[in-house]
Copies of this chain bind each other. A is one copy, B any other.
Amino acid sequence: MILGIIGVGLMGGSLAMAAREAKLFAEIIGADNSEANLKTACELKIIDRALSEADLIAISDLIVLAAPVEAIKAITPRLVGAKNSAVFTDLGSVKSAIIAAIPAEIRDRYVAAHPMCGTEYSGPKAAFATLYKDRIAVLCDSEKNSLNALRKVENLFLSIGMRIVKMPARDHDRHAAFISHLPHAISYALANSVLSQEDKGSILTLAAGGFRDMSRLAKSAPSMWLDIFKQNREPLLQAFKIFTAEMASLEDDLKNGEWESLESAMKNANALHQIFN
């Protein structure tokens, strides 16, 4: 079995490293539209060899699209050139937009996935073998998949230590908007709030763990996140609306001295303690 990974950055590179440790494949090959990334992935022995995208598609048994969402949408039509037995998956953060781009003739062999992990860094040098360990892989609209394709993709994720959750793409996109895309937007906005201040250097001198955590996501790659925001626009706008209302409520309480209401909102947020550690 040959594993072909298109996009050998943080996500694709880490997947290659984890799959190698799991010894599932005879060979792990990679393609990337960045020659530099591809070279680095070879040098670091993340992949066994580098191929063109077309050659990779032609010979791989399992193909993983580990590119930004718009690039994944552009690649999917070209997967019809793969072997008839080949199975496909992707690691894109938005699922409805990607699923809509899958050609009908390979729909049953394409398992739409989203591993809930990542870091604020990108590129093959940021890759590490344990990125996926103990994290959740969401599989979307999997009732459209053949059992064979589903088993192969599930095996890949299970063998690198992931747990699997299945849900409709529409639910995934709404959930991801709240749990991942909105937090990124907030982090960018918080960073810019401070960076727009004349005395930002002096302000940042005081930054400790809280600000560090809250601004970490603001270091993420803009090109990738612009893409995610674009492709999940409606669910994200909905999440913005709800968050903005929560902020406005805190602000009103603060402005009007509504201390009981303000404390009650904080106590309510504390409930996260109980249901999420």
The one of B214, B249, B251 that contacts A213, using a Cβ cutoff of 8 Å: B214
Contact status A202-B171, CB under 8 Å: yes
On chain A, the number of residues with a Cβ less than 8 Å from chain B's Cβ atoms is 90
Could you say which residues of chain B place their CB within 8 Å of the CB of A174?
203
Beyond A186-B186, A213-B217, is A206–B138 a contact (Cβ under 8 Å)? yes
Which of A9-17, A58-66, A234-242 contacts its partner?
Answer: A234-242
Could you say which residues of chain B place their CB within 8 Å of the CB of A223?
263
Q: Is A204 an interface residue (CB 8 A)?
A: yes
CB nearest to A181 among chain B residues = B210
Q: How far is the CA of A52 from the CA of B49 in the complex (A)?
A: 73
- Residues facing B in A223-256 (CB within 8 A) are 223, 225-226, 229-230, 233, 236-237, 239-240, 242-244, 246-251, 254-255
Q: Is A84 an interface residue (CB 8 A)?
A: no
Contact status A179-B192, CB under 8 Å: no
A181 to chain B, nearest CB (A): 9
Beyond A206-B180, A223-B263, A254-B229, is A185–B136 a contact (Cβ under 8 Å)? no
Q: How far is the CA of A268 from the CA of B220 in the complex (A)?
A: 11
Contact with B along A246-274 (1 / 0, CB 8 A): 11111100110001001101111111110
Q: How far is the CA of A167 from the CA of B183 in the complex (A)?
A: 32
Contact status B214-A266, CB under 8 Å: no
Q: Is A190 an interface residue (CB 8 A)?
A: yes
8 more A-B contacts (CB under 8 A) besides A178-B197, A193-B243?
A: A178-B193, A179-B207, A179-B210, A183-B190, A192-B268, A193-B246, A226-B262, A240-B250
